[in-house]
Every structure is written in structure tokens, then in C-alpha cells.
């Protein structure tokens, strides 16, 4: 080795010794090149071709486990059913069960009380996502509004029951007279029976609402004395992941429904039978986008993006209802925009 090469080597060693030491870390990550926009430049043309032919797969992102984002809600509801089995008619027809419907129409105290209890059920279902049969998941971010509104609805339901019970004697006697007239007209004087109607205490007892809240289970929270194996823990985690995926699918499906109804209606040319639409056609899209934003438990940006896009589109259409009603071009454009978003959502589920 000549003197110049020896001196260069010595200088290099001296320079390396002056640098701060670093831990010996082996990075097995395949090397990749990046463009200025952070897109990957693959080194192998064969790899580039292989990746480009595959369909992109949307991965579900879980930033938080379900038990940190939601709570289980169980609604148990009992109501008076305004119909009773007609034994004589059932025996006469000899097929199935014939029911005698009491309290005809919707504008009576019985139907009003039943409607109030149905409103409680609908509110819970509309503002939660499915967990299992009879159980729903509530987004904890919506806890205060949900429980406050639910208490109001429950109070209204029991108030309707109080009003019904206070007037029960006249209510059931009027209906008995109505059914008696029907029976006489049909040659069946025994159609009306006092025994078809419960007494007031029995009536009140049939109306009840019980709302229960429970935490969502977490794999690591199980008592170690249970001796859960790794396979059992993995199985439980898969179930939780499946519930998360189903909840996201539920959100998308809820949004698709009013979109499909709007596309169907707006596809009818102005002036043709069935072309006239009510404000609710578009208002329902605004409402569902706002509601799904509250109930959604997914951390997947793709799901959140669909909610945002629907809200933006629906609010824009809501401000142009009259133009869409009278302008064929605006109607067609609205239909196309809605259909495009709907197909994008359908591709997710």
C-alpha cells in the first residue's frame, strides 16, 4: 500500500471515530424510492405490474377499541295490544287465527299511547347501531343528548298512558258500542264483549319501558381465572371486529336508502305521473347524514368521507328544491349526482 493510500485510510478512520455512536439496529424493511409527492417508485417492473392489477382493498382502521367509544343499550318495552283473538270466528273459518281489532282508527287515546311507546323504540333504533338481537350500541359522544331526549320521550309515553287510564271507562265503553253496531249489521249480536277489555289496573300494567346500559366487553378485561386460551381470546376479538364492521355497514346502508328513493323519483321526467316530490325526499337525506354522523363508531376515513359527502350534497340540494322541481336540467343533474354517490357507497358494502 502506497503512502498516499495509507494516509487517506487513516484520515477516514479518524473521521469515523469522531462521529457519535449509534445502536446496532438492523433494518429489514425493503428499500423503496419515493417521488416528491410521496408515491412509491417500485424497483422491479414485474412488481409494479403485479400490484397494478390487484383491486384496492380498503382496510378498516381501528383507532380506539369499541369499549372506549360505545356503550350497549337494551330497550325492553311492553304495550297494550288493541286486538284480541275471536274464538268463534276462528272455529268457523277453521284456518289460522281470526283477530278482533279494537279501537278503530288512529285518533283515539289507545292509539296515541301506543304511538308514544313506538316513538321511544324508533328513537333508540335510529340513534344507535346494531350489536346483537335486542341490543344496540350508543356512541358515547352522543350520550348526553341521547339520554336527555330519551327521558323526554319516555315521560311523554307514560303521560299518554295516564291520560288513557284516566278516561278508560268511557274509552272502552264507546268502543264496545261501536263493535256492537258492527255485529248487529253482520248478524252477529255476540261480536261485542265486555270481557275483551282489561280493567284499568291491568291496562296500566301492560305499558312499561325499561332502558338498560352496559359496557362493551374487552378481551383483556376477562378474569384470568377463567383460563381463556389465546384461541378463545382471538375468537372474541374477531367477534368484536365483526360487530365493528357490521356497524359501519349499517351506517352506509342507512344512507343508501334515501338516496335510492331520490334517484327513483327524480328519474321521472317533469310533467309525468309520479314526478312531483315532497320536500321530505331531500330533507331525509340531510337528516340521515346528520344522524349517521352522530351514531357512527368507525374510525375508517372512508366511512366518514361518505357521511361528509352526503351531507354536503344533501344540503346543496335542499337549497335548490324549487329549481329541481321546475328545471329538467337541474333535475337530471341532481339525479346524476345522487346516483354517483349512491353507487360509490354501494361499492363499499
Query: For 69-104, what is each residue's pLDDT tens digit?
Result: 999 999 999 999 998 866 565 555 555 566 788 998
For residue 277, which of 243, 318, 239, 238 has the smallest C-alpha distance? 318
C-alpha cell, 193: 264483549
Indicate the pLDDT class of residue 226, thresholds 50, 70 and 90: low
Q: Give percent of the chain with pLDDT exceeding 90.
A: 64
Q: Are the C-beta atoms of 209 and 75 separated by less than 8 Å?
A: yes
For residues 72 and 211, state if they share a domain. Answer: yes
Check residue 37 and give its pLDDT.
38
C-alpha cell, 221: 378485561
For residues 208 and 88, state if they share a domain. Answer: yes
In this predicted structure, the answer to whether residue 61 has a pLDDT above a threshold of 80 is: no
The predicted model gives 35-62 an average pLDDT of 40
Indicate the pLDDT class of residue 54, thresholds 50, 70 and 90: very low
pTM of the shown model: 0.75
C-alpha cell, 177: 258500542
End-of-domain residue from the set 183, 215, 247 = 215
Check residue 48 and give its pLDDT.
38
Window from 224-228, 269-273, 325-329 with minimum mean pLDDT: 224-228
For residues 99 and 209, state if they share a domain. Answer: yes
Q: Which residue has the cell 264483549?
A: 193
What b/e sequence results for 118-133 when a residue is b if at least 16 CB atoms lie within 10 Å of its CB, and e otherwise? eebeebbeebbbebee
Residue of higher predicted confidence among 97 and 238: 238
Indicate the pLDDT class of residue 230, thresholds 50, 70 and 90: confident
The predicted model gives 255-272 an average pLDDT of 97
Residue of higher predicted confidence among 7 and 319: 319
Instruction: Kindly state whether residue 8 falls inside one of the protein's structural domains.
Output: no
For residues 226 and 199, state if they share a domain. Answer: no
For residues 123 and 97, state if they share a domain. Answer: yes
Summarised one tens digit per residue, pLDDT across range 136-183 is 999 999 999 999 999 999 999 999 999 999 999 999 999 999 999 999
Q: What is the DSSP letter of 60?
A: P
In this predicted structure, the answer to whether residue 28 has a pLDDT above a threshold of 80 is: no
Q: Are the C-beta atoms of 262 and 285 separated by less than 8 Å?
A: yes
Check residue 20 and give its pLDDT.
40
Beta strands in 64-140 (DSSP E): 70-78, 83-85, 99-101, 129-132, 135-139
Strand partners, 75: 211
For residues 93 and 211, state if they share a domain. Answer: yes
End-of-domain residue from the set 180, 215, 250 = 215
Residues in Cβ contact with 167 at an 8 Å cutoff, skipping those fewer than 6 apart: 109
Instruction: Kindly state whether residue 31 falls inside one of the protein's structural domains.
Output: no
Mean pLDDT of all residues in the chain? Answer: 83
Q: Are the C-beta atoms of 121 and 76 separated by less than 8 Å?
A: no
Q: How many domains does the chain have?
A: 2
In this predicted structure, the answer to whether residue 122 has a pLDDT above a threshold of 70 is: yes
Q: Domain of 276?
A: 221-348
End-of-domain residue from the set 157, 184, 215 = 215
The predicted model gives 126-134 an average pLDDT of 95
Indicate the pLDDT class of residue 51, thresholds 50, 70 and 90: very low
Indicate the pLDDT class of residue 233, thresholds 50, 70 and 90: confident
C-alpha cell, 329: 336540467
Check residue 319 and give its pLDDT.
96
Residues in Cβ contact with 121 at an 8 Å cutoff, skipping those fewer than 6 apart: 75, 77
For residues 99 and 200, state if they share a domain. Answer: yes
Amino acid at each position: 500500500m502506497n503512502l498516499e493510500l495509507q494516509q487517506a485510510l487513516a484520515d477516514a478512520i479518524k473521521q469515523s471515530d469522531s462521529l457519535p455512536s449509534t445502536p446496532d439496529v438492523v433494518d429489514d424493511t425493503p428499500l423503496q424510492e419515493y417521488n416528491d409527492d410521496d408515491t412509491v417508485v417500485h424497483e422491479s417492473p414485474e412488481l409494479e405490474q403485479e400490484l397494478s392489477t390487484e383491486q384496492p382493498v380498503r382496510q378498516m382502521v381501528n383507532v380506539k377499541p369499541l369499549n372506549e367509544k360505545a356503550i350497549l343499550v337494551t330497550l325492553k318495552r311492553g304495550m297494550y295490544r288493541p286486538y284480541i283473538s275471536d274464538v268463534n270466528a276462528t272455529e268457523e273459518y277453521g284456518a289460522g287465527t281470526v283477530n278482533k281489532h279494537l279501537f278503530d282508527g288512529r285518533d283515539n287515546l289507545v292509539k296515541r299511547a301506543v304511538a308514544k311507546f313506538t316513538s321511544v323504540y324508533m328513537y333508540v333504533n335510529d340513534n344507535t347501531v346494531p350489536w346483537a338481537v335486542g341490543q344496540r350500541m350508543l356512541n358515547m359522544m352522543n350520550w348526553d343528548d341521547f339520554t336527555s331526549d330519551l327521558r323526554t320521550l319516555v315521560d311523554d309515553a307514560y303521560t299518554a298512558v295516564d291520560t288513557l287510564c284516566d278516561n278508560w271507562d268511557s274509552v272502552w265503553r264507546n268502543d264496545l258500542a261501536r263493535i256492537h253496531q258492527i255485529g248487529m249489521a253482520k248478524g252477529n249480536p255476540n261480536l261485542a264483549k265486555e270481557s275483551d277489555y282489561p280493567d284499568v289496573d291491568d291496562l296500566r300494567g301492560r305499558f312499561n319501558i325499561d332502558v338498560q346500559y352496559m359496557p362493551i366487553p374487552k378481551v383483556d378485561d376477562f378474569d384470568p381465572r377463567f383460563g381463556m386460551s389465546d384461541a378463545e381470546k382471538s375468537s372474541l376479538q374477531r367477534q368484536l371486529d365483526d360487530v365493528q364492521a357490521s356497524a359501519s355497514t349499517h351506517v352506509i346502508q342507512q344512507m343508501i336508502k334515501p338516496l335510492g328513493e331520490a334517484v327513483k323519483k327524480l328519474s321521472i321526467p317533469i310533467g309525468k305521473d309520479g314526478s312531483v316530490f315532497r320536500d321530505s325526499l331531500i330533507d331525509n337525506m340531510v337528516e340521515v347524514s346528520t344522524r349517521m354522523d352522530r351514531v357512527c363508531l368507525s374510525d375508517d376515513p372512508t366511512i366518514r368521507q361518505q357521511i361528509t359527502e352526503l351531507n354536503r350534497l344533501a344540503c346543496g340540494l335542499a337549497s335548490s328544491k324549487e329549481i329541481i322541481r321546475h328545471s329538467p336540467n337541474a333535475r337530471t343533474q341532481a339525479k346524476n349526482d345522487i346516483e354517483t354517490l349512491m353507487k360509490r357507497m354501494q361499492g363499499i358494502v
